[in-house]
Amino acid sequence: MVKKIIKFFYKKEKKVEEKKQTEKSVPRGIFSTDISQDLFYRKQISLSDIHERCFPVKAPVPVDKDGNAFAMDGLNAAFQLSQPNAPIALLDWYSRQGFIGYQFAAILAQHWLVDKACTTPAKDAIRKGYEITVNDGIEVSEEILDALRQADVNYRLNENMVQFVRFGRIYGIRIALFLVDSNDPKYYEKPFNIDGVKKGSYRGISQVDPYWITPELDAEASANPASIYFYEPTWWRVNAVRIHRSHLIIMKTSEVADVLKPSYFYGGVPIPQKIYERVYAAERTANEAPQLAMTKRTDVLQIDIDQALAHQGDFETKIEQWVFNRDNYGIKTIGLTEDMKQFDTSLADLDAVIMTQYQIVAAAANVPIVKLMGTSPKGFNAAGTYEEASYHEELESIQAHDLTPLLQRHHLLVIKSEIAPRFGIETFSTCIHWHALNSLTAKEEAEIKKMSADTDAVLASIGAIDGMDSRQRLISDPDSGYNGLSIEDENEEIELDFSNEVENDPEEKEI
């Protein structure tokens, strides 16, 4: 009797243990949006857990002019979470959307779709090129501008601009350092001064990945919220060299709030961080298509289950043979008393479901699906016209805020180091005018030329312009087809020879 009781409790305990192991072996959801599974198998979430996840890096430690850290009362109150009036589970999900790290962002950028989302805008922004002009009120010859354009080629400026934007999107920050040879050992540590650049001292642009650099903030930048440089690194240390921020051109993507800047190492939100989960969902959805195409037919065979279980070996052999021949070319045989049915899984609109997932990726990356995938949008009844206009606005923003400052600093250094000493002129600054991003068809160009000609005709009819003004416009327009003409002097008398016409016209002879 005692043995039976012990055996009973032993079995009960064993069942409880097996139940625990079964619960642990249940797979968790891959997606971070799968809140229900994630919360079920995770410990109870507390506000302190969310706090530690949101602010892995607290207030920065300031340094003095020699680079030594010193103690100082920080603004730690800003890094404290109060009890929120929102579901804790929802806050926990949002808190997991934090910085993924530069190394992981680089790993994600290996994926073809993530790479296109970061590279395509960089190449498109410079595709149409730019014009260099001077607005300093000084006369600059075309020869000097040609020398400046040649310097852009020599310093591989287009390649540098593509790299600047591409890696800026990958990491959320990109730092361009302008290499200048100087006899002053603290040239870079001091604020930038163009007078410190000597003849032949400029050597080009160096770009540094963010995991090789260390931000340093002085007391003003780390503890004075009223400062215009609050929470902006005063120096960036590269290879043990302190470089003042004024020597650098820094590109940032979406900037975060001040309290999150230390966690992002004073950079922006990387594009891979924004889209990596949506890319995973899109690729998983696309992989479902061939699997569904191969398994969309389900065969149902009506048999006598009792007989099948009574002869299980023969039944399993028959099923294996059935599966082996289960395709469009195989022959299936059934008994006279058996009934066979086939059910097909509908694949209608599956392509729209797949493309919709990729369109979400495109929306998060601010790149039209037409550019990202090379196909027209599906599922949203969109023609792509608005997406193209919005994309051009994004590219114009990249040109104005990121590439133009890079170009102007490069030109300033080239002029001071090479152009000005070569031509014996004073240093001047340049203005960058980017060419229009949209490409016109031949028909659209012809229609524009026709409208311009009609406009000239109307203005000439009211005496606002004359033929020479229209001629000047055609010559100055490189796409007019008449830009090779020469401008005749307005006062020059043009003599016409009618001798041949008089000789050939009998009526004119009599006169």
Does 423 reside within a domain? Answer: yes
> What confidence score (pLDDT) does residue 1 get?
52
- Type of residue found at 372: L
pLDDT of 39 strictly over 80: no
Does 374 reside within a domain? Answer: yes
Long-range CB pairs of 377-382 (<8 Å, 24+ gap) are: 378/351, 378/352, 379/352, 379/353, 379/355, 380/356
pLDDT in tens, 198-241: 999 999 999 999 999 999 999 899 989 999 999 999 999 998 89
| Same-domain pairing of 455 and 426 | no
Does 129 reside within a domain? Answer: yes
pLDDT in tens, 54-107: 888 878 888 887 778 776 666 777 887 777 788 888 888 888 888 999 999 999
pLDDT of 490 strictly over 80: no
Higher-confidence residue of 391 and 290: namely 391
Higher-confidence residue of 220 and 294: namely 220
> What confidence score (pLDDT) does residue 198 get?
94
Give percent of the chain above pLDDT 70. Answer: 82
Q: Which two tokens stand for residue 204?
A: 């080009």
| Same-domain pairing of 421 and 465 | no
Out of 86-90, 218-222, 247-251, 493-497, least confident range:
493-497
| Same-domain pairing of 370 and 465 | no
| Same-domain pairing of 376 and 286 | yes
At 245, which helix (H) or strand (E)?
A: none
| Same-domain pairing of 353 and 457 | no
For residues 287 and 504, give the distance between their C-alpha atoms in angstroms, rounded to a whole number: 82
Does 30 reside within a domain? Answer: no
Out of 76-80, 117-121, 243-247, 379-383, least confident range:
379-383
At 60, which helix (H) or strand (E)?
A: none
Residue 237, C-beta contacts closer than 8 angstroms, at least 6 positions apart: 67, 213, 214, 215, 216, 243
**Count: domains in the chain:** 2
> Which residues form the domain of 451?
444-490
> What confidence score (pLDDT) does residue 29 get?
54
| Same-domain pairing of 285 and 398 | yes
* 451-460 mean pLDDT: 88
Contact predicate 69/61, CB 8 Å: yes
Higher-confidence residue of 162 and 348: namely 162
Contact predicate 96/32, CB 8 Å: yes
| CA dihedral over 276, 280, 283, 286, signed as positive or negative | negative
| Same-domain pairing of 284 and 398 | yes
| Same-domain pairing of 387 and 423 | yes
* 166-192 mean pLDDT: 96
* 449-457 mean pLDDT: 88
In a 3-state reduction of DSSP, which class is residue 264?
Answer: coil
> What confidence score (pLDDT) does residue 10 get?
52
Q: What is the dihedral of CA 263, 268, 272, 274, to 10 degrees?
A: 90
pLDDT in tens, 186-195: 999 999 999 9
Out of 21-25, 289-293, 486-490, least confident range:
21-25
pLDDT in tens, 309-339: 888 888 888 888 777 777 666 667 777 777 7
For residues 284 and 291, give the distance between their C-alpha atoms in angstroms, rounded to a whole number: 11
> What confidence score (pLDDT) does residue 31 get?
66
Candidates 398, 485, 433; CA nearest to 145 is: 433
| Same-domain pairing of 448 and 409 | no
Contact predicate 432/404, CB 8 Å: yes
| Same-domain pairing of 351 and 485 | no
pLDDT in tens, 378-416: 655 455 566 788 899 999 999 999 999 999 999 999 999
Q: How confident is the model at residue 441 (pLDDT cuts 50, 70, 90)?
A: confident
Q: Among 421, 439, 457, identify where a domain stops.
A: 439
Q: How confident is the model at residue 11 (pLDDT cuts 50, 70, 90)?
A: low
> What confidence score (pLDDT) does residue 167 get?
98
Candidates 271, 199, 266; CA nearest to 233 is: 266
Q: How confident is the model at residue 491 (pLDDT cuts 50, 70, 90)?
A: very low
Does 231 reside within a domain? Answer: no
| Same-domain pairing of 283 and 380 | yes
| Same-domain pairing of 113 and 148 | yes
For residues 416 and 484, give the distance between their C-alpha atoms in angstroms, rounded to a whole number: 35
Does 253 reside within a domain? Answer: no
Does 192 reside within a domain? Answer: no
Q: How confident is the model at residue 493 (pLDDT cuts 50, 70, 90)?
A: very low
Out of 14-18, 188-192, 466-470, least confident range:
14-18
For residues 119 and 215, give the distance between their C-alpha atoms in angstroms, rounded to a whole number: 26
Does 166 reside within a domain? Answer: no
